Amino acid sequence: MPEPLTRLLSELPPVEPDPARAERIRMRCRARLAPRVPGAFVSRASDQRLRAAWQPLIAVLGVAYLTEVIIQAIRLYSVP
């Protein structure tokens, strides 16, 4: 870097976060991450049960799709 620019940068004060602003941001993050309703964990448990109920169907559809892809590839690349 050119010497004048280096001198100007060295004169800048060190960067330090404002403690009050950092605390406000911390409190907002905690409020956003905290469960809003006491029964929030119950709804998450029901979501997990719902996902668990759909997993076998998704697996079967995935296997059926993969099987069809393999069949189509064999038909396409097979020599008549």
Lowest mean pLDDT among 2-6, 11-15, 36-40, 72-76: 36-40
pLDDT value, residue 51: 78
Angle at the Cα of 24 from the Cα atoms of 21 and 38, rounded to 5 degrees = 165
- The model's pTM is 0.41
Q: For the segment 36-61, what is each residue's pLDDT rounded down to a tens digit?
A: 666 555 566 677 777 788 899 999 99
pLDDT value, residue 53: 83
Task: Determine the distance from the C-alpha atom of residue 54 to the mean position of all C-alpha atoms in its chain, rounded to a whole number.
Answer: 21
User: Contact, 41 vs 35, CB < 8 A?
Assistant: yes
The CA distance from 7 to 32, in Å, is: 43
- All structural domains of the chain with their residue ranges: 13-77
**1 contacts: CB under 8 Å, gap ≥ 6:** 9
Q: For the segment 62-77, what is each residue's pLDDT rounded down to a tens digit?
A: 999 999 999 999 999 8
Report which of 64, 61, 32, 30 is spatially closest to residue 72, judged by C-alpha positions.
Answer: 64
Structure tokens at 5: 């620019």
